[in-house]
Structures are given as structure tokens and as C-alpha cells.
Structure 1
Amino acid sequence: MKDEEWLTQNLVIERTKDTMQPDRSTPDRPAEPTEVELTLLLSGGQSYTLSIAPHNPLLQQLFAVLMETPQRSQRLFQIPIKQGQAVLAFPSDRLVGIVTEPPIVIQSPPKSAAVAQKNPIGVLSADPLVSQYIQFENFLTPEEHQRLLNYTIQHKAEFVSTQTSTKAANYRESLVLYVFPEFANLISQRVQQVFPELVSKLGLKPFQISQIEAQLTAHNHGNFYKIHNDNGSQETATRELTYVYYFYREPKAFSGGELVIYDSKVENNFYVRADTSKIVQPLNNSIVFFLSRYLHEVLPVDCPSQQFADSRFTINGWIRRS
């Protein structure tokens, strides 16, 4: 089957807008968008944004070009702009990326039965809708872990309340510290060390890292983060992998706070969360990696003492591709 024929059958417009998902108690599904904001990323650092209909054949043609091998068949794109008063023309080999809002995702073509037989944790499932994650234990040395814990407790006064990009109320409750250079750099270095293993085990195509983001978060009694994804807007579209490093005082003074990573399903041409999921325990001095497009949430934390030092602490962030 040709790339464009396969893409015609498998282009799906994701229901998420920005990084938010509706509360699980909200049954209504938004109507399919009438327009898609399409940003073309061209070699040399140039870009151009236009709005098109979601089923415009141009989308399939552009995605087909990106799927081709480095030896692309040369073609010339001529796209009407400014209400037909001008034309944007460029050869296909100049197209290096596409940003769409709302997000457009492509279901991967079926894999062979031989690949589907083996599916250990840390290896991408043959079903692209099944979520996977990798969790490393003892990620920092005991000395580094203790220094980080001491630093976090000592800087309590510098934490601020978290917010979502849409300013939605009752969607996320926790505290965050955005500037902590020593430990942000430490985590970044360790993440880069395990990056080749991540790419291999998650079945990703190797990519160049442009940035590793980090924030230090504290979840105390009653704190939570409802269902969301991490790369559902134009500003976050280059986030490829999400990571969460857990640390806290021993003996553990809280319960809950598990990370739930949802599988996906296609329903009426929308990606929505499935009824199945993976539950990740917040193990002390461990780090979890998963694809930023996965829908996920943090379950409420129960911390009877309500003392800041007894919180579920994390350094969480994102690996961005160039």
C-alpha cells in the first residue's frame, strides 16, 4: 500500500486541545474541528503557518513525504495562501517537520505476528495504542539523593502553586520550584546517559535532543493532577518523552500519588483514553519514562501529617527533540 493511501485510512485528529483533557466525569465530546492550524517547518529554520480543513488531501501528502526514506522522490508543493492571492512553493526535500493544532496523530502500520509475540515492559507494544513505560531504580547515588532531599526541604519557601496552561480550576494541585540549577543539571546528565537505552527499549526512531526540561514538584495531602498529556499544543509539540524522578523521606509518610498511564483507543476518529491503563508506584529514588503523548494522571496523595517534608517529591520534565 502506498504511503498516501495508508495515511488516508490512518490519519486521526486527536481530541486534545492544548495540554488539557476534560475531567473524567464530563461525558461530552467536542465536535471535530473545522480547521487545523498547520505549521510547516522547513530546512534553514524557516516556517509558515496556515489553516486548512482537517480532511484536506494536503495533510496526507505532507505526512507521506515525512514518512519517506532519506532518498525522497522529489516533488514541488504549491500551496495557496492569503486567500488565494499568493502561493507558497517549496521542494519536498525542504520539509523537515509539521506542527498541527489540534494535534494530528498517525496510527502505526500493523507489525508482524513475530514482533507481537514478545512484549516485555520497556519494549514498545505491537499495538500502538498500548502504553509502555520504563522505570529505573536507584537512579541517583544515596549521597545525591540525600543532598537533593535536604535541598528541597530547605527551599520550601520558594515553592509556588502549580497551574495548568488553560488556568483550569480544580485540575491540578501541588507546589513547584522552577529554578534549582544544581540538581536540574544532575538529572539532565543522568537522563542523557540512559537516553540511548530509552530509545532502543521504547522502539523510537533515534532523534537529537534539543532540550531537557525540569521542575521540582511537591505533592502533599489531597494533591493530584487530573488526566492530561504533555505535548498537545504547538508550544509543547516537540516534547517526545516525559520523565518523573521520585524521592521522599523514609519511612514513607504518605500513600497514594500513583502515576496512571492510560492506553488509547480510536473512537469516532478521535484518540481517547481506553479503560485499560498502567499504574506506576512512586518508588523512592526511581525514575519513570514514557511517551509525552500518553494520557496520564497523578492520583490523590494522602499525607496525614500534612508536613511539607513528608511530601511526595519529584523532579519531572520532558525530553524535547530538535
Structure 2
Amino acid sequence: MDDIAQKIVDAGEAGLWAEVERNLLSQIERGPADQSILHRLGSVYRQSGELAKAAGIYARLAAMDGGDGFAKKVAQICSGNLGENQCESGPVEPARFVLRRNFLTLDARDALLRLFDAKYPEMEELEVTLADKNRDAELKIDRSIRHQFGIYCRPELEEIIQTAVMNEFPSYCDALNVDQFPPGRHDLRLDYTPDGGFGKMHQDVGFGARLSYLYYFNRQPKKFRGGDLLFFDRNRETGQPLPHQFTRICHEDNLLVIFPPQYFHQVTRVAALDLSLNAADSRLSVCGFIHPKEV
């Protein structure tokens, strides 16, 4: 993410969205058909994570004379109606994703909390591959790219979460415009992001997976802010991300986010609400990759 985009993120996390929203709403009162102001307000709602409000603004834009495909597509994504009336969005493609709130039963969620307690002593800081042209690539810790901890524990996570995810597998493919495929191996990782932790913009390509998902959970009461997921729009022709255009998924307990791995995304910095934050109270997640069945 470049400096300008980071300033946009920082402004929102500093609580400045409300002031921007008030200014834009006052302008819309004076000119309710001004599409440029409506687009700006829709962007504010997307970037602040108010998806229902964003869906309403973009649906309003799509219904106007000359309403563009981008507005219609964003309205579909933010409202969760992706499977209905799929449409192209023009030269800019917003990232597709599906949200499932209150995804697991409370018993299953609590089982994940117990699993974290058991696995925490074994968890290691996630490494980043740094290629050196003069020798083989090495695995090194690079905290300028990511600061998170995790452990692959597939059997335990399969029992708790995989069945719940796969129960709706065909509907995810339809909603995300992914060709149906016979699912095979799951890669499953249990993660936590500490105070100050983050993940810079990246894709989940290179693993051979067709779908990625993140399941968020945390102990109550929540003792941190941040750790939100940002999905970036991209140029349809080049596939490159547009760092000033994104949709924020606010971190929420018991939330599943599923998406095609080619979309660019990042995790915003986690900040403890007080000095008592420890690993067990931090941002917890399950990271999953669904591969096609090998033939």
C-alpha cells in the first residue's frame, strides 16, 4: 500500500469518517442527483466498513440514468446478493467476497478457543520468503511485510470448522463466480495477530487453491481494535490492485469471509485497548485454502 492509501486508512481508523460523512450528506441534500458526490459517499462507507450503507448508495447510483456496472456490482457485493444477476463492472473490478456472520455454533467457537490455548506454545511467527538471486531463496522473518503467528494443525481444525465450511461449498462457488470444482485438500492454519501486528497487501496465489477463507474469533470482551481485512479493487485489464479503492471487512467475532485467492487484500494494524493484551486476547483467526481434488 502506498503512502496516500495508508493515510486514507489511518484517517478512517482515527475516527474521521463521521466528519467526512456529514460533509458529503450535506452536499447531497443540496444536489441529490450529483453522482460524483454519491460515489464519494459510497467509497467512504466501503472504506469504513459500513457495508449496508454502501450497498444502499451504490444501488441508488445503479438505478440512476447512466448508472454504471461498477455501482451495480458493488451494491451486489456489499449487500451479499452476489449470486443474483451477475454483471460486469467495466474497467474496474471490485473484489468479490462472501460473509457469513454467526458462522459456528458457540460450542464450536469455544472449541477453537480451547484449541488455541493448547497450540499457543507451539505457534511461530509467520515467515516471508525472500528471494536472493545469488543463492537459493531463504525463509526469513520480515516484519515490514507481516507480523503474525500461526501453526498448521489440519486434523484438529478439520473436526471443528471444515465440515461447516464445506456444507455451503457449492453456493460459495456460485456467488463468487468460480467454476464448480470437486474439492480436495484443505490447508488449515490457526493464527493470532498481536498488538502492532498486521499483514501488507498480498494475494493468496501460488498455493494451488481455488478458494481462500478466513474465520475470525476472539474472546469477549474484545480487547483490541483494528485487524480489519481490506479488499482492493483492481484494473480488469492488467489485474493490478488500485490501492485507493477498497472495501473494509471489520473484524468481528464468529465471522467467516470466503473469497477467490487472486484478489488483493491486507490486514490493518492491531492496537490493544490497554496494556493487558496477551496472545489469548488478541485477534484470532483460522486461515483456510480449498484445493481441487487431484485426479
TM-score, length-scaled by structure 2:
0.64
Q: Distance in 1 between matches of 2:118 and 2:198?
A: 23
Contact between 2:178 and 2:260, CA under 8 Å: does it hold in 1? no
Quick check: 136-145 or 146-155, which moved more? Answer: 146-155
The alignment status of 1:251 with 2:208, answered yes or no, reads: no
Q: 1:245 to 1:179 in 2, by over 3 A?
A: same
Q: Distance in 2 between matches of 1:133 and 1:155?
A: 29
Residue pairs, 1:129-148, within 5 angstroms: 129-148=93-112
Q: CA deviation at 1:270?
A: 5.9
Q: 1:155 to 1:301 in 2, by over 3 A?
A: same
TM-score, length-scaled by structure 1:
0.59
Q: Distance in 2 between matches of 1:266 and 1:126?
A: 10
Identity among equivalent positions (%) equals 27
> 1:214 is paired with a residue of what secondary structure?
strand
Equivalent of 1:290, from 259, 274, 281? 259
- AA at the equivalent of 1:271: Q
The alignment status of 1:240 with 2:210, answered yes or no, reads: yes
Tell me the equivalent position of 1:164: 128
Greater helix share, 1 or 2?
A: 2
Contact between 1:258 and 1:280, CA under 8 Å: does it hold in 2? yes
> 1:293 is paired with a residue of what secondary structure?
coil
Q: CA deviation at 1:306?
A: 2.9
Residue pairs, 1:1-322, within 5 angstroms: 24=2, 117=72, 119-121=75-77, 122=80, 123=82, 126-127=88-89, 129-166=93-130, 167=140, 169=142, 170-179=144-153, 181-231=155-205, 233=206, 236=207, 238-265=208-235, 269=238, 271-303=240-272, 304=274, 305-322=276-293
Gaps of 5+ in 2: 5-67, 131-139
Q: CA deviation at 1:292?
A: 0.3
Q: 1:272 to 1:115 in 2, by over 3 A?
A: closer
Contact between 1:125 and 1:131, CA under 8 Å: does it hold in 2? no
Q: Distance in 1 between matches of 2:235 and 2:141?
A: 25
Greater strand share, 1 or 2?
A: 1
Q: How many correspondences in the alignment?
A: 210
Q: Distance in 2 between matches of 1:161 and 1:114?
A: 42
Q: Distance in 1 between matches of 2:69 and 2:229?
A: 31
**1:63-110 superposed Cα distances (whole Å, 9 cap, x missing partner):** xxxxxxxxxxxxxxxxxxxxxxxxxxxxxxxxxxxxxxxxxxxxxxxx
Q: CA deviation at 1:182?
A: 2.1
> 1:120 is paired with a residue of what secondary structure?
helix
Q: Distance in 2 between matches of 1:257 and 1:117?
A: 28
Larger radius of gyration: 1
Q: CA deviation at 1:203?
A: 2.1
Q: Distance in 1 between matches of 2:261 and 2:232?
A: 12
- AA at the equivalent of 1:160: E
